[in-house]
Structure 1
Amino acid sequence: MKPASFLAALGLLFTGATAATAANLPAAAAGNDDTIMVKLPNQVSMTIVARDKQQLRELKAYKLDSLMVLLDAYITQAESAGRKGSNGQVTMEFYPAKDKPSSKAAPEQVRVTVRGSKPNADRVEVFMNKKLGVTVTTEEDGQNENVSVRINSNDPKADSVKQAKRVAHKKKLSGTDFGVDLGLNTFVNKQTYAPGGVEQPYDLRAWGSRYVALNWKFWARTGKNSPLFFHLGPEIAFNNYMLEGNRYFSANAAANRTDIVQEPADQRNLEKSKLAVTSLNLPVGFTLKFKDKDSDKDLFRIGAGGFVGYRIGAHTKLKYEQDGRTHKDKDRGSYNLEDFQYGVSGTIGVRNFDLFVKYNLNDVFKENRGPKAQAISFGITLGDI
């Protein structure tokens, strides 16, 4: 039975169903329990069994959508196992509450029985030993499909499709994620740059030297319940290096090097003077995730890895005011930058907040053709690993 049909039937139950006595129900429902039975035109019937009327009224607060996501996975496993058996019949038991002891909404037990004695006949039964029960029976011409479900939850607020999908995602052994890194760049291990005997300072503006990266990660869990995850890229990174003072990077073709030019104060006053570099990288690494026992959410994360990359573009951009007009000069070129780059990276996160740092082990510029320095990028990560 489709989840949509199941939910539609429940909607009808809450709006138009009337209480029926035990005498009008099958023998399985007879006794001192309060019951509700709904018959639909498509030969689907539902029976709800509870101890008293109060429990029947509590049923309206329970959301069944995420439960159907859980049952669908169990029924699929049982059907697959039944097809492998000699007579097509199999019974499987699952214990969601034991697998997730911190959740009050997880069913205590789910038993699925599939009988395939006829070529086109399947019988699926699902039971959860909770205080409220719901029985759904479906019959289709030529298929004779019978599905029986018993459900209940003590924590309806925690039961939703979004929560169920989040839990299923956390229990997956592999998957993909998209993330965005937002941060800043700085130069480290700097050495004096003085081509021709004239020193050329190249300090970076703290807030102007920005870093942005778009990354697609494939991740795989190293074991069913292991907290260790493996992940790899690709990634597109944008590094901006903006110089302090009224200075800018300039390609010196005659000397085959990149110079740092000091713009005279009586000429142009540079608002921006950045060197922008675009790279295609391949990060790889491992992340340890520790969960909160009460909520099963990520409490703390720490990861480490490395990356290799190739420069796919570079340009300088100067922004300044002159003669009452704003000018933006943009020049493309290699600027004697290293084509290949490699380095190490690290991440640390607490709940929904993540920090990253990336350290380039090779120099930004080619040897003796530009300032000798390495780059560090750091900031926050938006997304999951």
Structure 2
Amino acid sequence: MKRFLLLPLLTMLLALVSTTGSARALRALNDDTIVVRLPNQATMTLYVKDRAQLRELRNYKLDSLMLLLDTYIAQAEKASKNSSSEQVTMEFYPAKDQPGKRVPEQIRITMHNDSQTDRPAKKGERVDVTVGRVFGVTVEENSADGNDRVSVRVGSSAKSDSIRMAERKAKIEERANRPVHSNFTIDLGLNALTNKQQDQNGNSLDLRPWGSRYISFNWVYDIRLGAKGSPLYLRTGPELAFNNYMLDNNRRFVNQDGVTTLELPTEVGRNYEKSKLAVSTINLPLMLALSFRDDKGRNSFRVGAGGFVGYRLGSHTKLKYEEDGNTKKDKDRGSYNLEDFQYGLQGTMGIRGIDLFAKYSLNELFKNNRGPQAQAISFGVVLFN
């Protein structure tokens, strides 16, 4: 350790020792380490990298801090003994509990259960304590030489895996506890039709399942309902959706005399490789959603249900076929007597990293008596949720 840091550290440590008893030995191990042996043979090791990190520790009265930590560790140890998990993490907020006092804003304590096979397991064999973002304490019981050790790290990069895990969990919980959470997702799936009726020519609106694709780009806003930690949300946000309805049985859409019908090709021997109706809409869903998390703070199960309204932005038909050895593509824009407004029901369900969606239109795809009657269903997976 740099020479100009040695005297302040010794002064601080001796002040701490004076509250618990005189030190039997004080020994510098290396340039950034000081070891203090207390009368009860406990050992405290202090690691400090620079003066700025030292100031972070000097902001606290160490005797009061140790008493505070002892109280919280006792609570965490009690919770650990009643848990079957390998580790138990608890968070405390002294600044909120003791307003006006010079205490840390947050203290996170992780109790580890020893899993060694050469001796009976004991709850709380190791304790990791994080005070704020820069001050960490590690307590190890039953060390190799039989003496307890306490390691105090200020701003050290040598954090234990458990502390890193606790910090990640804290970030996850912070995001999860926001009153409003926004996200961008993509729905990718297929379209199908139900309650189909024949058109005026007696033709049915049959689709190719794998060619009738659905994709939407969603700006999702989850608004928490209830107190902090409530799993209930109100979900909404605009969606830009693209529906493809790929016809089967070599049919095509024909708009004639204000009525949309299904027709065979007029050219002899022509087979359509593709014959589809493409529709783009902007939708606004409104759903109630529940989101549950596991013991590690990760999303485990999600479910949502509600409705949506949508407005048609554009539509066109597209034909693809062979003619005289050449591939032809005909594209024709128009409304084709589609309903401009759509409304219906929709729902989502997710487990771990997999989310599914389904949408069902309550009104007809085409205007009444001006096109083949059917209602649309879209279903598939949610990406980037």
**Pairwise TM-score range, normalised by the shorter structure:** 0.5 to 0.7
Match for 2:193 among 187, 201, 211?
A: 187
The alpha-carbon distance between structure 1 residues 282 and 43, as it changes in their structure 2 partners (threshold 3 A), is closer
In the other structure, the counterpart of 2:311 is 310
The alpha-carbon distance between structure 1 residues 20 and 178, as it changes in their structure 2 partners (threshold 3 A), is closer
> 1:304–1:345: 8 Å Cα contact kept in structure 2?
yes
In the other structure, the counterpart of 1:143 is none
Question: Separation in 2 of the partners of 1:332 and 1:276?
Answer: 9
The letter for the 2-side match of 1:218 is Y
Is 2:320 aligned against 1:319? Answer: yes
Match for 2:270 among 268, 271, 283?
A: 268
Q: CA deviation at 1:190?
A: 1.2
Q: CA deviation at 1:242?
A: 0.9
The alpha-carbon distance between structure 1 residues 111 and 93, as it changes in their structure 2 partners (threshold 3 A), is farther
Question: Separation in 2 of the partners of 1:159 and 1:95?
Answer: 11
1:282-307 CA distance string (max 9 Å, x none):
011011123223x3322222110110
In the other structure, the counterpart of 2:241 is 237
Q: CA deviation at 1:128?
A: 5.5
Question: Separation in 2 of the partners of 1:205 and 1:267?
Answer: 21
The alpha-carbon distance between structure 1 residues 287 and 17, as it changes in their structure 2 partners (threshold 3 A), is farther
Question: Separation in 2 of the partners of 1:107 and 1:191?
Answer: 69
The letter for the 2-side match of 1:158 is M
1:314-336 CA distance string (max 9 Å, x none):
01111111111111111111111
Q: CA deviation at 1:168?
A: 2.9
Match for 2:214 among 211, 234, 243?
A: 211
Q: Structure 1 regions of 5+ residues with no counterpart? A: 1-15, 48-72, 99-103, 113-123, 138-148
In the other structure, the counterpart of 1:360 is 361
The letter for the 2-side match of 1:235 is E
Question: Separation in 2 of the partners of 1:265 and 1:17?
Answer: 91
In the other structure, the counterpart of 2:282 is 280
Match for 1:91 among 103, 110, 113?
A: 103
The alpha-carbon distance between structure 1 residues 236 and 39, as it changes in their structure 2 partners (threshold 3 A), is closer
In the other structure, the counterpart of 2:165 is 158
The alpha-carbon distance between structure 1 residues 261 and 33, as it changes in their structure 2 partners (threshold 3 A), is same
The letter for the 2-side match of 1:375 is A
The alignment-based identity, stated in percent, is: 43
Match for 1:257 among 251, 256, 259?
A: 259
1:74-105 CA distance string (max 9 Å, x none):
99x95x999xx8xx75536646459xxxxx9x
Q: CA deviation at 1:200?
A: 2.2
The count of residues paired between Structure 1 and Structure 2 equals 300
Question: Separation in 1 of the partners of 2:369 and 2:309?
Answer: 23
Question: Separation in 2 of the partners of 1:358 and 1:308?
Answer: 11
Match for 2:152 among 102, 111, 134?
A: 134
The letter for the 1-side match of 2:152 is V
In the other structure, the counterpart of 2:232 is 228
Q: CA deviation at 1:34?
A: 5.5
The letter for the 2-side match of 1:91 is V
Question: Separation in 1 of the partners of 2:109 and 2:35?
Answer: 31
Is 2:237 aligned against 1:200? Answer: no
> 2:283–2:310: 8 Å Cα contact kept in structure 1?
yes
The alpha-carbon distance between structure 1 residues 207 and 265, as it changes in their structure 2 partners (threshold 3 A), is farther
Moved more, 270-279 or 284-293: 284-293
Normalised by the size of structure 2, how large is the TM-score?
Answer: 0.66
The letter for the 2-side match of 1:305 is G
The alpha-carbon distance between structure 1 residues 334 and 95, as it changes in their structure 2 partners (threshold 3 A), is same
SS state of the match for residue 301, structure 1? strand
In the other structure, the counterpart of 1:18 is 31
Q: CA deviation at 1:33?
A: 2.2
Normalised by the size of structure 1, how large is the TM-score?
Answer: 0.66
The letter for the 1-side match of 2:210 is W
The alpha-carbon distance between structure 1 residues 268 and 177, as it changes in their structure 2 partners (threshold 3 A), is same
Question: Separation in 2 of the partners of 1:168 and 1:182?
Answer: 30
The alpha-carbon distance between structure 1 residues 284 and 107, as it changes in their structure 2 partners (threshold 3 A), is farther
Question: Separation in 1 of the partners of 2:324 and 2:49?
Answer: 83
SS state of the match for residue 207, structure 1? helix
> 2:250–2:272: 8 Å Cα contact kept in structure 1?
yes
The alpha-carbon distance between structure 1 residues 96 and 250, as it changes in their structure 2 partners (threshold 3 A), is farther
The alpha-carbon distance between structure 1 residues 22 and 200, as it changes in their structure 2 partners (threshold 3 A), is closer
1:221-270 CA distance string (max 9 Å, x none):
22312121211010001111111111111221xx2111211115734221
Q: CA deviation at 1:158?
A: 3.4
> 1:130–1:152: 8 Å Cα contact kept in structure 2?
no
Question: Separation in 1 of the partners of 2:318 and 2:134?
Answer: 68
Q: Give the RMSD, CA atoms, in angstroms.
A: 4.0
In the other structure, the counterpart of 2:375 is 374
The alpha-carbon distance between structure 1 residues 81 and 17, as it changes in their structure 2 partners (threshold 3 A), is same
SS state of the match for residue 174, structure 2? helix
> 2:46–2:151: 8 Å Cα contact kept in structure 1?
no
